[in-house]
Structure 1
Amino acid sequence: MIEVNELRALCGDDDSMVKMLLTIYLEEYGESDSILKNRFSSDDVDGLFQISHELKGMFSNLCAKEAMTLAQVIESSSQAGSLPDQTAINDLCGKIKEINQQIERILQ
């Protein structure tokens, strides 16, 4: 989950900045769980590296440490040329859905 208070502090307690970042995430990465599953099912190691690397950075920016760590696991495996475990993909996809729901509640 996103540590909202930490994110707000990083944004100088500017709620409009927080909402802008969350909106950008949803627009750019809201469907990333489907992308991860598709790339995993097609054995696209390079594609998995790309999306997991992007997600790691985005989750770092959003103060979503657990999701960042899960993305880093997939990034490391795919960077080494190996397909990550199905469990790693499922865990990150589940976390993405949780974060998407959290963001939708915040933006209401």
Structure 2
Amino acid sequence: MINIEMLDDMFGGDKEITQQLFELYLEENATTGDIILTQYESNDLSALFHTSHTLSGALGNLCEMDILPKIKEIEAAAKTENTPNKETIDTVIEGLNKIKEQMRNHLSS
């Protein structure tokens, strides 16, 4: 999950910046979980590396603390041409869904 308090502190309490970041993330990453699953199932490790690497940076910048280590696990495995563990893939997809829900709830409050 996103540490919203830490993110707000990073931007001096400017809630508008947090809102814009969440809107941009949701727009750019709405289907990332599906993309990761498709890349995993088709064993497209090069694409999976690229997706997980990009996602790792995006979520790191948003103060995500829970699934970031699992995303880095996928990234490291795919980089070395090794298929990541399916359980790790499932954990990341579930986490991404929770993050989307958290962001949507934050935006609607």
What percent identity do the matched residue pairs reach? 27
Aligned to 2:77: 77
1:41 alignment counterpart: 41
Tell me the CA shift for residue 12 of structure 1.
1.5
For structure 1, the residue ranges without an aligned partner over 5 or more in a row are: none
Does the aligned pair in 2 maintain the 1:57–1:68 contact within 8 Å?
no
Runs of at least 4 residues of structure 1 off by over 3 A? none
Distance in 2 of aligned mates of 1:11 and 1:83: 38
Q: Which amino acid aligns with 1:107?
A: L
| Offset at residue 76 of structure 1 (A) | 0.4
Shift, 1:65, TM fit: 1.5
Secondary structure at the aligned position of 1:82 is classed as coil
Q: How far off its partner does 1:11 sit?
A: 1.4
CA contact (8 A) 1:77 1:84 kept: yes
Residues matched between the structures, number: 108
Tell me, in whole angstroms, the C-alpha distance in 1 between the residues paired with 2:54 and 2:2: 16
SS of structure 1 residue aligned to 2:66: helix
Distance 2:101 2:40 in 1: 23
TM-score, normalised to structure 2, is 0.96
Aligned Cα RMSD in Å? Answer: 0.7
Q: Normalising by the residue count of structure 1, what TM-score does the alignment of the two structures yield?
A: 0.97
CA contact (8 A) 1:33 1:97 kept: yes
SS of corresponding position for 1:23: helix
Q: Which residue matches 1:25? A: 25
**1:67 Cα deviation from its structure 2 partner:** 2.0
Structure 1 residue 29: deviation in Å? Answer: 1.0
TM-superposed CA distance for 1:70, in Å, is 1.4
